[in-house]
């Protein structure tokens, strides 16, 4: 097994249990090390600090364990069991809510791995070569933890994998098989999930709590859901008695799924009969620019990540400012805006400043009602604050 020797003084962050080792902190490698290999990490003085997956790139090692104990044959089952117990302890796993994130990378001490549960299907995404190479062991551990509650394990790593050399990347079922679509319940709402061809693993589970909050503000209001994807916020608003909902997304496929979700919830009586809904397959920014003032009482602004690396940060902040200024200027007096950023490199202070600048540019009186973040099944490791990526504001516009 290969070894990674750190430069003098670079062990301090590892001793504080930070799970990333950057390439600039490595003095030398010992032994033959391939991308994705499990490696022993040693201090400059030769002390074993832990074990992790080696990766070619800026983040050279993602730590799996700290101390001298090597991750053994029961490692995956233990980590998955601990993650399941955390979700169970929050009351998240129940009859009316069978879709949740089981593994959230560093937040569950498995950096580079995402596992989402959709009823009886687990969807895996590997964001490191080590996790990709371990996918069969992860799948086996999932079946051991869940038993017959899991009918299929689907690996969807091809689109997100940052590693290419020498690895064949094909999305595939690692266990069982199933049709492309499945039906899940989220807080009693019905959603059809396409984990094979949908975005991410098929659904944005991280907005569950925020969707419920939108529902609590929606009764009697005219709602606009921008970047609606398959209609999560729209379903909650309609089910909560919104006067009307307009949903906008540039993806025809997403809009088609949205309409199927609305139909399923109408048939089940979750959305009241006669509730007004219109869907628009258009660019959300153009739609907002062309919409009239005071048409909406509640606007949801939930765009995709505008910045995926620090070099894109200035342009992203300008985009958030422009988009929020359009929403603030057009919402009806006494209106509510839910606005979000899922860009990890945009911190919550920078995002709030972008919204502040947007509000100032409109001249309207704006107050913050809520500061939002990700839910309990997307936990943040206290030793890895970088894991807090989702931030949002609920603002009231006079």
Residue range 237-269, pLDDT digits in tens: 999 999 999 999 999 999 999 999 999 999 999
307: confidence class by pLDDT, cuts 50, 70, 90: low
Predicted pLDDT of residue 316: 85
Predicted pLDDT of residue 385: 93
Rounded CA-CA distance 236/312 in Å is: 33
Cβ-based neighbour number of residue 181 at 10 Å = 16
Rounded CA-CA distance 259/264 in Å is: 9
Residue range 379-392, pLDDT digits in tens: 999 999 999 999 99
Q: What is the mean pLDDT of residues 122-139?
A: 94
Predicted pLDDT of residue 180: 59
Burial environment of residue 92 by CB neighbours within 10 A (0 to 12, 13 to 18, 19 or more): middle
Q: What is the mean pLDDT of residues 177-190?
A: 85
* Catalytic site includes residue 342: yes
Rounded CA-CA distance 39/2 in Å is: 5
194: confidence class by pLDDT, cuts 50, 70, 90: very high
Q: Which domains does the chain have, with CATH numbers?
A: 3-66 (2.30.130.10), 75-180 (3.30.750.80), 204-397 (3.40.50.150)
User: Among the options 99, 342, 355, 359, which is catalytic?
Assistant: 342
Rounded CA-CA distance 376/100 in Å is: 10
Q: What is the mean pLDDT of residues 22-32?
A: 95
Q: What is the number of residues in the chain? A: 398
Rounded CA-CA distance 48/342 in Å is: 36
Tally DSSP H helices, then E strands, for the chain.
10, 20
Exposure string (b/e) for 201-237, b if CB count within 10 Å is 16 or more? Answer: bbbbbbbbbbbebbbebbeebbbbbbbbbbbbbbbbb
pLDDT at 39 over 70: yes
Residue range 348-381, pLDDT digits in tens: 999 999 999 999 999 999 999 999 999 999 999 9
User: pTM to 2 decimals?
Assistant: 0.94
Give the orientation angle of helix 208-218 with respect to helix 232-239, to 10 degrees: 40
Rounded CA-CA distance 141/106 in Å is: 18
Cβ-based neighbour number of residue 24 at 10 Å = 9
Cβ-based neighbour number of residue 360 at 10 Å = 13
Predicted pLDDT of residue 164: 56
Residue range 63-77, pLDDT digits in tens: 999 998 899 889 999
Rounded CA-CA distance 138/167 in Å is: 18
How far is CA 14 from each of CA 39, 52, 382, rounded to the nearest angstrom?
14, 11, 14
Average pLDDT of the residues of the chain: 93
Residues 6 or more apart whose CB falls under 8 angstroms from that of 85 comprise: none
pLDDT at 231 over 70: yes
């Amino acid at each position: 097994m290969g070894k990674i020797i750190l430069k003098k003084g670079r062990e301090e962050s590892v001793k504080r249990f930070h799970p990333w080792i950057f390439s600039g902190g490595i003095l030398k490698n010992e032994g033959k090390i391939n991308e994705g290999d499990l490696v022993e990490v040693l201090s400059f003085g030769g002390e074993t600090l832990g074990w992790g997956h080696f990766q070619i790139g800026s983040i050279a090692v993602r730590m799996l364990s700290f101390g001298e104990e090597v991750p053994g044959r029961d490692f995956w089952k233990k980590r998955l069991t601990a993650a399941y117990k955390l979700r169970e302890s929050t009351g998240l796993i129940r009859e009316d809510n069978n879709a949740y994130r089981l593994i959230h990378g560093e937040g569950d001490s498995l950096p580079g791995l995402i596992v989402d549960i959709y009823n009886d299907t687990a969807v895996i995404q590997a964001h490191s070569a080590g996790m990709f190479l371990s996918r069969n062991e992860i799948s086996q551990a999932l079946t051991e933890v869940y038993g017959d509650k899991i009918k299929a394990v689907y690996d969807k790593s091809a689109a997100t994998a940052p590693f290419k050399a020498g690895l064949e990347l094909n999305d595939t079922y690692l266990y069982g098989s199933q049709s492309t679509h499945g039906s899940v319940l989220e807080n009693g709402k019905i959603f059809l999930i396409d984990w094979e061809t949908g975005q991410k693993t098929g659904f944005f589970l991280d907005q569950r709590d925020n969707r419920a909050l939108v529902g609590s503000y929606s009764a009697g209001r005219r709602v606009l859901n921008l970047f609606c994807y398959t209609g999560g916020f729209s379903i909650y608003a309609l089910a909560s008695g919104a006067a009307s909902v307009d949903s906008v997304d540039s993806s025809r496929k997403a809009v088609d799924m949205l309409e199927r979700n609305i139909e399923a919830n109408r048939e089940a009586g979750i959305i009241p009969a006669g509730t007004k809904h219109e869907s628009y397959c258009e660019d959300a920014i153009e739609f907002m620019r062309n919409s009239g003032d005071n048409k909406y009482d509640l606007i949801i602004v939930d765009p995709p990540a505008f910045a995926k690396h620090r070099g894109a940060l200035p342009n992203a902040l300008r985009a958030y400012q422009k988009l929020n200024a359009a929403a603030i200027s057009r919402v009806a007096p006494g209106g509510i805006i839910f606005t979000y950023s899922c860009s990890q490199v945009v911190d919550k202070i920078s995002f709030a400043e972008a919204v502040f600048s947007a509000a100032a540019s409109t001249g309207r009186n704006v107050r913050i009602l809520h500061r939002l973040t990700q839910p309990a099944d997307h936990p943040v490791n206290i030793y890895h604050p970088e894991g807090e990526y989702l931030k949002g504001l609920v603002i009231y516009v006079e």
